[in-house]
Amino acid sequence: MAKRLAVALGLWALGGPLGLHHLYLGRDSHALLWILTLGGFGAGWLCDLWHLPAWVVAANGPPRSPPRGASPPLSPPRVAGQLLVGGYFGLLGTLGVPWVPTPLAVALGVLLVASVGDQASDPPRVLAAAFLAALFFQGRVLPTSLATTAVASWHRRFEPPRPPPPPLPARLYRLALGVAAFWAPLAWGAISGALGVAGTAL
């Protein structure tokens, strides 16, 4: 079914911070990123308005093969997003779930941003960079996120054309799993902390 700009604009206005317009256009990684960061901390949702016409055209067109051997141009907004989301994931892991390794949380945030659109990075190298940077910087989140972002940007690549997306229920199920994987450890950490405080008080 052809995607309509008017529908995408309506979903952007009604549920943009939750990525409804990305879900409509088949951009599931972008939708998950928006759900977990509330529209890219608000700024990304506002910037989406300028990109919507091109995304609708791309959603309605045939899959395009990337140029052979070419790398995507370096995108400052994508790099900034990787740095911010990697730091955000790492900070949440440090504060809310101490048993989740900080470099793993940082790497997952960076890789999520790297997978938006038709691009990707090299997960093993990004994970290795995150753990080495965390070891070198003694677990500090910001330098770990910076080093991990640099490696992810260096190894950026085009994704090959993807097959047609699965039915909407399957896509919603995968999104729900991603959201649960993000929030369940945080909820468990919050509950454990509250129970510990209550036990101490009693």
Instruction: Evaluate if residue 112 carries a pLDDT over 70.
Output: yes
- Taking a C-beta distance cutoff of 8 angstroms, is the pair 126, 111 a contact? yes
- What's the whole-model pTM score? 0.89
**What is the reported pLDDT for 64?**
74
127-136 pLDDT, tens per residue? Answer: 999 999 999 9
Task: Average the pLDDT over 151-171 and give the result.
Answer: 88
Quick one: how far is CA 158 from the chain centroid? 17
